[in-house]
Each structure stands twice: as structure tokens, then as C-alpha cells.
């Protein structure tokens, strides 16, 4: 039987999602907790791979286990076993062929910026220079739709294609924060952080909004802006087809 598990985590203390040698990762913590509590070797497959320091308000992973269990009790035990910066939200059974990675319809990320330094905003990026939010939103129009995003991708990622369909992208002031929200069918490694870095160059007037279109067309990472720090990036939402749960 296959199960989806929904979780959230603060990624500050972890070297990303994926298990890797000599590094503390979210996936490793989940594997260890499930294997201990279910008394079986469990390996979860995540919906994606967040980088070191990146957070998730909503992440999904799936695992296989051929025995029934009390979901409510397992969630309580998992949350007691896991570190305080990882929280299990729900667990539900799905079809045996369902995949958290390949069945996802869309993914959404947020990037948080503050323009007034605060010791309490540790998951936001401090940018002291004035930003032209209107220009940044004009630049967002150029990243919409199905395009090759090589210019915003980390090199040598061994992906089959660098094409992504960006469904929406915008900047919005919410209280004291400036939040970038982007939704797409898939994302390349480092893509959101590279896009935000490029948008900030628009915001400070270093490049024009229309220059973003040319950056995408050149398919050259060197033409785009510097990647912003990971600590202000959140995977915020993953959407699956209706009826995926059994």
C-alpha cells in the first residue's frame, strides 16, 4: 500500500531535502522516524528537492507499507520523535502507482524580503536599497508561460528538459514584507532564487523589465542576476489532482 505524507519544515539546520553522505537532511529524518515507529525499513520519495536552508510550508512525500495503521496515532508519534523544526500534518492512502513527484499539478514558492533590518525576521532577506515594485511586476510578465529557463538554472543538473510552465508570478507588499510568489508546473534547481535576484536588479534600476525577456532568450545563466540567499525561500503549496486519495 502507498501513502502520501504531508509535512512542513524549517530548513535552516538541514542540508536540503535529499539524503546525502555526511549531511543532515529532511528526507533522512523522515526515513528514520517512519522506520523506527513502523518497525520496518521505510524510504520516502519527496515531491521535489529543496536546497540547503530552504523551508517548506507544505511538502509531500510518499512511502510504501503493507500494513494498516492508526493514522492519528502515527502522526502523534512521528511529531514526538521528529525534531521541532519538522512537523507532520497528514497521512493518507493513495493508489499504488501514485507519485508525489510526478503527479503534482503545480508547485508554488514564496520569497520574503524586508527593507528594514529586524532581528526577528530571520527567514526574510534584508534589502536596504529602494525597490521599484511596479517595474518588478512588469518584469514578471516575461517569465509567464511555457519557456526554456536555462538562464535561471544551476548548471549540470542532468534534467531531461529546462522547459517549465510558469502559471503566475507577482510581487506584493504584505505588512512590512515584500513577497514574491511564483507558481509553475515544475522548477529547476536554483530557479526561483535566480529569478528573484534578477528581479531585484530590475527593482534597483540596474536593468529594465523588458531585459528579462532577452535574458531568457539567451539561455545563459551568466546573463541573469545573482542568486539570492536560501533562508528566505519557502515551498508554500503543492497541488494534486482531485481524488488522488483513496
The catalytic site residues sit at 51
Take residue 12 and report the three cell numbers written for it.
535552516
DSSP string, 6-63: EEEE-GGGSS-SS--TTS--HHHHHHHHHHHHHTS----EESS-PPTT-EEEEEEEEE
Closest residue by Cα to residue 43 from 66, 27, 20, 67: 27
Pick the closest to residue 104 from 235, 15, 192 (CA basis).
Answer: 235
- Measured distance between the N- and C-terminal CA atoms of the chain, rounded to whole angstroms: 11
Please say whether the beta carbons of 212 and 143 come within 8 A.
yes
Q: Report the C-alpha gap between 135 and 138 in whole angstroms.
A: 5
Q: How far is residue 73's CA from residue 130's CA, in Å, rounded to a whole number?
A: 50
Decide: 59 and 50 in contact? Cβ < 8 Å. Answer: yes
Cα–Cα distance, 240 to 98 (Å, whole number): 10
Amino acid at each position: 500500500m502507498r501513502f502520501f505524507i504531508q509535512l512542513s519544515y524549517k530548513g535552516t539546520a538541514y542540508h536540503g531535502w535529499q539524503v546525502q553522505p555526511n549531511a543532515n537532511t529532511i528526507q533522512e529524518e523522515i526515513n528514520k522516524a517512519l522506520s523506527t515507529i513502523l518497525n520496518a525499513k521505510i524510504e520516502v520519495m519527496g515531491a521535489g528537492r529543496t536546497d540547503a536552508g530552504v523551508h517548506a510550508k507544505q511538502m509531500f512525500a510518499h512511502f510504501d507499507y503493507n500494513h494498516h495503521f492508526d493514522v492519528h496515532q502515527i502522526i502523534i508519534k512521528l511529531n514526538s520523535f521528529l525534531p521541532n523544526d519538522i512537523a507532520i500534518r497528514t497521512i493518507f492512502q493513495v493508489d499504488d502507482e501514485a507519485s508525489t513527484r510526478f503527479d503534482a499539478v503545480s508547485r508554488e514558492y514564496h520569497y520574503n524580503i524586508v527593507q528594514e533590518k529586524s532581528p526577528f525576521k530571520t527567514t526574510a532577506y534584508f534589502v536596504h536599497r529602494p525597490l521599484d515594485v511596479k517595474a518588478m511586476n512588469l518584469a514578471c510578465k516575461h517569465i509567464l508561460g511555457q519557456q526554456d529557463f536555462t538562464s535561471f538554472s544551476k548548471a549540470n543538473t542532468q534534467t531531461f528538459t529546462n522547459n517549465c510552465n510558469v502559471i503566475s508570478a507577482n510581487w506584493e507588499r504584505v505588512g512590512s514584507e515584500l513577497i514574491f510568489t511564483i507558481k509553475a508546473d515544475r522548477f529547476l534547481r536554483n530557479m526561483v532564487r535566480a529569478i528573484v535576484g534578477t528581479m531585484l536588479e530590475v527593482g534597483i534600476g540596474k536593468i529594465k523589465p523588458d531585459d528579462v525577456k532577452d535574458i531568457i532568450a539567451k539561455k545563459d545563466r551568466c546573463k541573469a542576476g545573482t542568486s539570492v540567499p536560501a533562508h528566505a525561500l519557502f515551498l508554500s503549496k503543492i497541488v494534486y489532482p482531485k481524488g488522488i486519495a483513496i
